[in-house]
């Protein structure tokens, strides 16, 4: 099936982006047109890398993050994305992704937590392009998985072929990136990727996490929504438990299964990320103590220890670097 003849292409040179970073916000700044923000959940020095090959109608990416992070936002307006966790089995928001299970975002908001030492490879395209191709090829798209980020099960064969294509692409990026300068090669590569995507989509169905797992995820989602919408007010964990109707022990069990961390650690990590961003933005006008108190850290020496443990630097060092910039 030659998809190059199905829809007109505006050919342009392939654009290769490769970036690495030691700061989660700097990592987000390398993500091209993706409108995503990351919060670092696990403690320790952050290392991230992002590679993106931009073809005329597709973007092929590889992302590596060393720490557990929360990713939220959009891949871009009306975007379609398929991501393949690259090493073994991983849990994304409590649902296992492995084998023929992929992460799919089809014109959807993203809000997910990924584990430490995570590698994701995949493809991003226009949702309109995918819909137009499906219509012209008389392929019925799985509308039940539209407009939401999900772990989706698909037929094994096209997923395996897509995985092989992505492995070959990133090997070429490493060894002979000038191959992508050839318009015929770019067209053949894009066509091959679209063929596999169109083979995969008719077989897609949401992965069933089970009734009890789904209930625990709903509890965690409600708790996280309260935390994230609390603004500048330092919400207490007891307030969260009361609002979601769960004891601290039950909420802890739910968070551990879905996110792999405790609600207290998660909430502290979110507030530490807010402090860090405020210090970066405030520069000369900021006081570390004032910013810490604003986000509910009243014990200043303990806050400094927690901050250094989480980001591998003192808050005063973050502020000093912001002032120098």
* Predicted confidence (pLDDT) at residue 10 exceeds the cutoff of 50: no
Q: Look up residue 121 and give its DSSP letter.
A: E
Does the pLDDT of residue 234 top 50, yes or no?
yes
Angle at the Cα of 28 from the Cα atoms of 23 and 29, rounded to 5 degrees: 95
How many angstroms separate the first and last alpha carbons of the chain? 53
Is the model more confident about 14 or about 209? 209
Residue 186 has pLDDT above 80, yes or no: yes
pLDDT at res. 15: 86
Specify whether the CB–CB gap between 207 and 153 falls below 8 A. Answer: yes
Both tokens of residue 38? 């990351």
Task: For residue 22, name the pLDDT band (cuts at 50, 70, 90).
Answer: very high
pLDDT of residue 55: 92
Mean pLDDT (whole number) for 247-255:
93
Cα distance between residue 294 and residue 184, in whole Å: 57
Question: Which SS3 state, helix, strand or coil, does residue 32 take?
Answer: coil
Q: What is the pLDDT of residue 246?
A: 92
Say how far residue 300 (Cα) sits from the centre of its chain: 32
Predicted confidence at residue 217, as pLDDT, reads: 86
Mean pLDDT is lowest, of 15-19, 81-85, 310-314, 321-325, for: 321-325
The residue that leads in pLDDT, 127 or 47, is 47
pLDDT at 50: 96
pLDDT attached to residue 254 = 92
pTM of the model: 0.87
pLDDT grade for 305, boundaries at 50, 70 and 90 = very high
Phi, psi of 295 (to 5 degrees): -105, 20
pLDDT band at 324 (very low <50, low <70, confident <90, very high): confident
Triad 106, 15, 2: Cα angle to 5°? 60
Mean pLDDT of 215-219: 89
Q: Of the candidates 120, 108, 128, 130, which has an alpha carbon nearest to the alpha carbon of residue 194?
A: 130
Instruction: Please check whether residue 130 is in contact with residue 141, taking contact to mean a CB–CB distance below 8 angstroms.
Output: yes
Give the pLDDT confidence score for residue 231 in this predicted structure.
67
Cβ neighbours of residue 83 closer than 8 Å, sequence gap 6 or more: 102, 103, 104, 105, 120, 121, 122
Binned at pLDDT 50, 70 and 90, residue 283 comes out as low
Look up residue 301 and give its two tokens: 């020496």
pLDDT tens, position by position, 89-141: 676 766 777 777 888 888 788 888 888 999 999 999 998 999 999 999 998 88
Range with the poorest average pLDDT among 21-35, 75-89, 201-215:
201-215
- What mean pLDDT is reported for the chain? 86
CA 224 to chain CA centroid, nearest Å? 16
CA distance 117 to 273: 19
At 88, the pLDDT band (50, 70, 90 cuts) reads low
- Contact yes or no for 44/85 (Cβ under 8 A): no
């Amino acid at each position: 099936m030659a998809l190059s003849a199905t829809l007109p292409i505006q050919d342009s040179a392939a654009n290769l982006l490769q970036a690495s970073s030691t700061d989660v916000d700097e990592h987000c700044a390398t993500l091209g047109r993706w409108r995503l923000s990351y919060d670092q959940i696990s403690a320790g020095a952050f290392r991230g890398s992002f590679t993106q090959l931009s073809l005329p109608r597709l973007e092929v990416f590889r992302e590596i993050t060393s720490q557990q992070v929360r990713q939220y936002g959009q891949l871009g307006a009306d975007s379609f994305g398929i991501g393949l966790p690259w090493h073994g089995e991983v849990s994304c928001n409590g649902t296992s992704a492995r084998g023929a299970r992929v992460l799919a975002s089809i014109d959807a908001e993203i809000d997910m937590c990924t584990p430490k030492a995570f590698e994701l490879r995949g493809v991003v395209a226009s949702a309109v392009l995918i819909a137009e191709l499906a219509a012209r090829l008389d392929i019925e798209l799985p509308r039940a998985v539209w407009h939401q980020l999900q772990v989706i099960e698909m037929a094994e064969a096209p997923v395996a072929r897509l995985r092989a294509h992505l492995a070959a692409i990133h090997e070429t990026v490493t060894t002979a990136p000038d191959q992508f300068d050839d318009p015929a090669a770019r067209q053949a590569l894009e066509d091959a990727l679209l063929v596999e995507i169109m083979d995969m989509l008719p077989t897609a169905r949401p992965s069933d996490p089970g009734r009890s797992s789904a209930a625990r995820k709903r509890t965690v989602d409600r708790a996280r929504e309260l935390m994230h919408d609390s603004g500048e007010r330092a919400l207490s964990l007891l307030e969260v438990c009361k609002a979601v109707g769960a004891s601290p022990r039950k909420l802890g069990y739910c968070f551990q299964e879905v996110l792999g961390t405790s609600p207290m650690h998660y909430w502290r990590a979110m507030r530490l990320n807010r402090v860090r961003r405020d210090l970066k933005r405030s520069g000369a006008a900021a006081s570390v103590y004032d910013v810490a108190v604003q986000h509910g850290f009243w014990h200043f020496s303990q806050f400094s220890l927690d901050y250094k443990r989480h980001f591998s630097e003192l808050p005063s060092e973050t502020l000093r670097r912001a002032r120098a910039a």
